[in-house]
Amino acid sequence: MDKFIIEGGRELHGSVRLQSAKNAVLPLFAASVLTDKQVTIRETPPITDAYCMAEILRELGADVRFHDGDVTIDSSEACCHEISSALTKELRSSVFMLGSLLTRFHRAVIAYPGGCDIGLRPIDLHLNALKRLGVRIMERDGFIYCECDTLRGAEIGIDFPSVGATENIMLAGVKAEGKTVLQGAAKEPEIVDLQNFLNSMGARIRGAGTDVIEIEGVRELGGVTYTPVKDRIEAGTFLIACAICGGEVEVEGVGAENLGLLLHKLRENGCKIHIKNDKIKLSGSGRLKCNRRIETMPFPGFPTDLQAQITALNAVSEGGALIVENLFETRFKYVPELQKMGADIEVHGRTAFVRGVRKLHGASVTAGDLRGGAALVLAALGAEGVSEVLDLSYIDRGYSDFEGKLRALGAEIKRVRV
């Protein structure tokens, strides 16, 4: 197990080279099973979630190779439709494989997916949608058994704009007979990226980025070389880090429209933000002001994946903030760790009230999930004294060379093997 040793109190200056989006890359891995031609995903971040997804594909019989930041996937020899519980319990995104496996083999067996412990995250929306496409489903002993004679296009409505369910329907509908129309689709940029990837393979999908997606089934899909979108959550994490520490940081590769509400909240804090094309530069100095209220919502609302980081910022800002988490019921598990550093935060269910303090102090804290772990690192960067952040396995799931990028900005942070 590794840990970070962080000496706080240093301003951050410079630019950050963003990785490809974790939440875009993982569905592309799943989509590679849809063709027997070679797929190359360029600039894939070396994060543990990507390696776990690669292991799932290898278990199915695919050949997956990492080389100089690119991943080449050849699924022509894939012959297995079952994914072991050991892998699915490590990775929530393994649920994307249902749509791909049903398209390729007309059957799939998968254990209930795992991932970060931030709530139940039921997959009923996925299963009900697949049933509309003609899939027979049985759940038994912690496994989901799916099969169909053929996939047939259908009118599907989902009650909540679930990113995972939207992507699963796209993967299941892409080669289904006829037309699939999805009402109530998620609008995240990563949905648009999956549409662009599949269309580059020969699919006929339109409407991604809106709440209605139309999919005309095609017979075959070809190979593709594709570069995913940059990671807007990583971009937001570094912008918030600069807001906490002070200084000036620029991120490049993410359009401001994909971080709209975050940028509004950071301006509300008192940060100066300059936008030019796909470059976003944030300047911060002195003690900032608390946001009065933040509520997480599906895109284009405030991202749940930036909730913990913005809470860390409010913890050292002037005034009080009300943070409401609408997507996951246990996403405030990081708060007791912030309290060890002197944060004044009260949590009641899905709501946290933050009273800003002048400074946090160094402490030994433990990451309990990906984004909560990132928030602890950001808090330590702005704190007085030395902190250690334990159990980096969660952080490594979503951030590549997190410490190296922070050091390049002037942070005093090092990774140590425990």
Summarised one tens digit per residue, pLDDT across range 273-293 is: 999 999 999 999 889 999 999
- The residue type found at 22 is K
pLDDT of residue 81: 92
Mean pLDDT across the chain, nearest whole number? 94
Structure confidence at residue 120 as a pLDDT band (50, 70, 90): very low
Active site residues: 116
Pairing of strands 344-348, 351-355: antiparallel
Question: What does the pLDDT look like over 148-170, one tens digit per residue?
Answer: 999 999 999 999 999 999 999 99
Taking only the tens place, the pLDDT of each residue in 312-341 is: 999 999 999 999 999 988 899 999 999 999
How much is the pLDDT for 122?
Answer: 65
Q: Are 304 and 370 in contact (CB under 8 A)?
A: no
**Ranges of H-type helices in 246-300:** 260-269
Q: Indicate whether this model's pTM tops 0.85.
A: yes
Q: Give residue-wise pLDDT tens across range 45-97.
A: 999 999 999 999 999 999 999 999 999 999 999 999 988 888 777 776 678 78
pLDDT of residue 86: 80
The domain 2-19+230-417: what is its CATH number?
3.65.10.10
Residues with Cβ within 8 Å of residue 81, at least 6 apart in sequence: 60, 101, 104, 105, 107, 108, 109
SS3 302: strand
Residue 114 confidence (pLDDT)? 53
pLDDT of residue 117: 43
22-226: CATH architecture: Alpha-beta prism (3.65)
**Per-residue model confidence (pLDDT) at position 143:** 85
Share of the chain above pLDDT 70, in %: 97
Q: Where are the domains of the chain?
A: 2-19+230-417, 22-226
Fold agreement between 2-19+230-417 and 22-226: yes
